[in-house]
Amino acid sequence: YLVAFSAGAGGLDPLLLRHAGDPRIAGVFAADAYFGKAVKPGYMAHAKAVQATGSPFWISTGWTGDRKTGNSGATSFPPFADALGMTPTDPPSFMPPPVFAKSKGSVVWLRYDKPWTHQDHITKLAPKALRAMLTGGTDAPATKQSASTY
């Protein structure tokens, strides 16, 4: 499993690009870890690769907060969602209700705005998503993969 929070996206994107579709990656959780002006090539490559396998790939973003660059997840993620062909969906039942959710196959984007804070993405949302991913909980497909290191 790969998990990134906030600026961790800078490390996650090249890793996903290099290992797109690698079966050792049982799931990805990016906790408010998508921002910038361009579609991230690693995120896109891995998202397309996992469509056939159903491997869980989670993205929690949104938090329109007071990011000085104006590149919050709420403004940066829609081009990725559009390029992947994501459509509105019901959120997984094990997650708190987001402002809205979009998905395509196993790629899920959950947008959380205020009162959720940037830190809440890793301290409150991540534990719920990761628990479901690791246990095959409600709405999260169980995986046959085990954790490994690169």
pTM above 0.85, yes or no: no
Q: Long-range contacts for 38-41 (Cβ within 8 Å, ≥24 apart)?
A: 38/79, 39/79, 39/80, 39/83, 40/9, 40/13, 40/80, 41/13, 41/17
99 touches 113 (CB < 8 A): yes
Residues with Cβ < 8 Å from 139, sequence gap 6 or more? 92, 93, 94, 132
Q: What is the DSSP letter of 107?
A: E
Encode burial over 118-129: b for 16+ CB neighbours within 10 A, e otherwise.
bebbbeebbeeb
Residues with Cβ < 8 Å from 137, sequence gap 6 or more? 94, 131
Q: Say what the pLDDT of residue 102 is.
A: 92
**pLDDT tens per residue, range 29-44:** 888 888 777 788 999 9
Q: Say what the pLDDT of residue 87 is.
A: 95
Whole-angstrom Cα distance, residue 21 to residue 127?
A: 24
Q: Say what the pLDDT of residue 35 is.
A: 78
Residues with Cβ < 8 Å from 115, sequence gap 6 or more? none
Strand locations in 1-150 (E): 2-5, 28-31, 57-62, 87-88, 100-104, 107-112
Q: Say what the pLDDT of residue 58 is.
A: 76
Q: CA 39, 91, 9, 75: dihedral to nearest 10 degrees?
A: 50
Give the chain's residues under pLDDT 70.
62-72, 137-150
